[in-house]
A = this chain, B = another copy of it.
């Protein structure tokens, strides 16, 4: 049975300690918005997968108990930066499998300043679970132990430059595009446009990545109401429903490590495999997509993901972004929300926030960010360690 998204909601993403809120506060805000958007009451929700990385064990219960004490199953899930889409993947499977007709998927993160090893962008992640875990894998594959995430991705960027002639300006073009997109997104942590020159001139985090090419540390929550076709029909929710046409999660395979390349170690093979599965399952190709939200934790990862999703050939992603093909007026609009770089990246929330943006786009409700005539959308969310989730949405 097909699963449909009938309501989405999110908080504005914020720099930690900007707002005086608890994680239950932010979940109540996002989940209430999603339920209101759907016209569904919390009492109709049958299961609740909740994604978060840095909160206590049953933080999911603590948060959703504020919406109601209905006794329904709550699952706390965690897959690093792919946590939000992991919660969504459970919601879809519960609905498609007939276990529930109405599921609320929630993702949130309250990241202490320094939760990722420093209060500034791209800080040393050595103390984080992500890096600790990555360190184990990295050590096994010849990297230094526990490198900061910015270093891992910086090395992948240098590799891409060496192999394909990608330029610092092409990498910076990703940052400039996504910051420009976010100007129209009231939910984005940053809403300021920068030129490629300004992006290049911002502080170097790990060569060649500069600050305006790196996602910041963020607080925030997002939620989505996922229902069966019969639930949508019964409650008259079909008109605004978005179909989850296909979805796949992949984890590392031998391909992630075989080459010893940083590009592979940061998950490009996982992304490629997940996209392929989704395209096959839905009978579409990259040419059929109108709008894409993808995991630009660092500018290089947006370029790697263009290639993994098949938007261009291997090594051609630098030229692709420079050509304008991935912004308004181009072949696709990639990260109309501003992406992780400018919208922010509260780990547990990111994967669901991507789908919130795409739902608004597919319904024609994205305001000044609207991608004209968007009918087919793809979300890509990845976590080191690792998991990649690709979701195809259709209306």
- Residues of chain A touching chain B, judged by Cβ–Cβ distance below 8 Å, are 53, 56-59, 61-62, 65, 69-80, 83, 86, 89-90, 93-94, 96-99, 129-130, 132-133, 136-137, 249-254, 256-257, 270, 273, 383-387
Give Cα distance in the complex from A133 to B387, angstroms.
Answer: 28
Q: Decide: B69 and A130 in contact? CB cutoff 8 A.
A: no
Whether A78 and B79, one on each chain, are in contact in the complex, defined by CB atoms closer than 8 angstroms, is no
Chain B residues near A249: list those with CB within 8 A: 73
- Other A-B pairs, 6, CB within 8 Å; known A56-B130, A62-B133: A71-B252, A73-B250, A75-B77, A77-B77, A78-B78, A93-B93
Residues in B whose Cβ lies below 8 Å from that of A386 = 58, 61
CB atoms of B129 and A57 under 8 A apart = yes
> Closest CB-CB distance, A37 to chain B, in whole Å?
24
- Taken together as a complex, chains A and B put the C-alpha atoms of A94 and B93 apart, in Å, by 7
Q: Cβ of A252: which chain B residues have Cβ within 8 Å of it? A: 61, 65, 69, 71
Between A56, A80, A99, A256, the greatest number of chain B beta carbons within 10 A of the residue's beta carbon is seen for A56
Nearest chain B CB to A93 CB, angstrom units: 5
Given contacts A97-B93, A130-B56, A70 and B253 within 8 Å (CB-CB)? yes
Report how many copies the assembly holds.
2
In the complex, which residues of chain B have a beta carbon less than 8 angstroms from the beta carbon of A93? 93-94, 97, 99
- Most B CB atoms within 10 A — which of A76, A130, A133? A76
CA distance A72 to B89 in the complex (A): 13
Instruction: Kindly report which residue of chain B lies nearest to residue A87, judged by CB atoms.
Output: B75
Tell me if B75 and A86 are in contact (CB < 8 A).
yes
Distance, CA A132 to CA B93, complexed state (A): 32
Q: Hey, which chain B residues are within 8 Å of A83, CB to CB?
A: 57
Known contacts A69-B252, A97-B97, A251-B61; A74 and B387 CB within 8 A of each other: yes
Query: Which of B89, B256, B385 meets A58, CB within 8 Å?
Result: B385
CB distance from A45 to the nearest CB of B (A): 12
A90/B71 contact (C-beta < 8 A), A57-B385, A133-B57 known: no
Of A62, A71, A80, A83, the most chain B CB neighbours within 10 A belong to A71
Q: Do residues A79 and B80 form an inter-chain contact, with CB atoms below 8 A?
A: no
> Is A133 in contact with B79, judged by CB distance below 8 angstroms?
no
Q: A57 touching B76 by the CB < 8 A rule?
A: no
10 cross-chain CB contacts under 8 A: A58-B78, A61-B385, A62-B133, A62-B136, A62-B137, A65-B251, A69-B253, A72-B250, A75-B86, A97-B98
Residues of B within 8 A of A69 (CB): 252-254, 256-257
User: Which 4 pairs show the lowest CB-CB distances between chains A and B?
Assistant: A97-B97, A58-B385, A56-B129, A73-B249
Most buried by B among A96, A130, A251: A251
Task: Determine if A71 and B383 form an interchain contact, defined as CB atoms under 8 angstroms apart.
Answer: no
* Residues of the B chain whose Cβ atoms lie less than 8 Å from the Cβ of A132: 56
